[in-house]
Amino acid sequence: MMPAPAVATGYGARLTVDLGALKRNWQALDKVSRGALTGAAVKADAYGIGLVQASRALYEAGTRFFFVASPDEGIAVRAALPEDTHIFILNGLFPGAAPLYVGERLMPCLCSIPMLEEWLQACLSRNESLPAALHFDTGINRLGFRLNEAPVVKRMVDQLGYSPQMIMSHFACADQPAHEKNRTQLALFTSVLAQFPNVPASMANSAALMTGRENHFQMVRPGIALYGGRAVQGRRNPMAPVVTLEAPILQVKEIRTGESLGYGALQTVARDSLIAVVGIGYADGFFRHQSGTNSRAGGRVVIGNKFAPVLGRVSMDMIQVDITDLREMPKPGDMVEVLGPNISVDDQADVGNTIGYEILTSLKGRYSRSYVESPAPNNS
């Protein structure tokens, strides 16, 4: 039998994650939160950059509190980090999973009466007050106890003498600081906390952390801002970019006035043009909504510090970009910047009619992935 061929690497798109920038972003947010503990949301593979690598870097930066969506993610964080790590499961307690949570020292964010009953039963069976958070819905209408259930929850925990690790909720409109719903939710959350005196509280995601100290309570749990994304609409993003995505030029070619590009012939050129075909597509997280048409500009890439617009429809494996006006012509094999210092995740998201979160969490394609740790910039 012939041996399997070696796997070629380094010929496609490459994703570089700057763990130094990630650490500095957490430290900057920790300074803003001051009196509150600063946790870190590392769900969804740490927003696409790598759960284990990001968690280790954030631990080194100083956080000890991690928020994930599922117990599987929690188990991965637990295996990667030292014993003093505290891990909250945002999706709550899955039915029948209490022994797993206890064994892995995972803290569920309890959000329903059946969840609370199962957790309290686990506490009784072990004669131990197992830590967990109580999650109240103050208006986003996702997970959480209804506000009218607060007296029932209070009675259940008091009967057992159980003290929750934390009371939590989640803003619906924190990225819009002037939205009236923020004040309404904050008032409702404060009313819940009055029923659980002396229990630590948490409500602030990245945007709430960055826009008001009244949101901080005892724990903040940033997510998107850690990874360089824009947390607050209409404001300059102060966070350092964490991800650089580059893709190779596959071919450079001439096209004539009136010729179209790509599937659907959605765009024709109004002049003789030079285009570069770039090896990245929607299979790699470069969305079809970033396509260019005759009536709408598409996304952009950077070649030699110059922007090059996407022409025509994004396909599975490639895009076409206009390089006619570049002073120095690129050649096949040259890399173009898709995300990085010149094009943020939010720049690409805005063109694609989505959000930076979706761009980041879609970066799980066919990349050569590497991790670096850049030094802090010298601002002297």
Contacts of 252 (CB under 8 A, 6+ apart): 274, 275, 276, 277, 323, 329, 330, 331, 332
11 annotated active-site: no
CB 129 within 8 Å of CB 163: yes
Whether the CA torsion 133, 134, 135, 138 is positive or negative: it is negative
145-155: b (≥16 Cβ within 10 Å) or e: bebebbeebee
Alpha helices by DSSP H, listed for the chain, are 19-33, 43-47, 51-61, 71-80, 98-104, 113-126, 150-160, 180-193, 206-211, 345-351, 356-361
Angle, helices 51-61/19-33, rounded to nearest 10 degrees: 50
- The first and second tokens of residue 186, run together, are 């904050």
CA distance 333 to 246: 11
Q: Which is catalytic among the residues 23, 43, 101, 367?
A: 43
CB atoms within 10 A of CB 156: 15
Cα 277 to Cα 250, 331, 348, 359, distances in angstroms = 6, 10, 18, 21
43 annotated active-site: yes
167 DSSP assignment: E
Q: Which is catalytic among the residues 11, 253, 263, 331?
A: 263
Q: What's the half-sphere exposure (Cβ side, CA atoms, 13 Å) at 95?
A: 2
Which residues are tagged catalytic? 43, 263
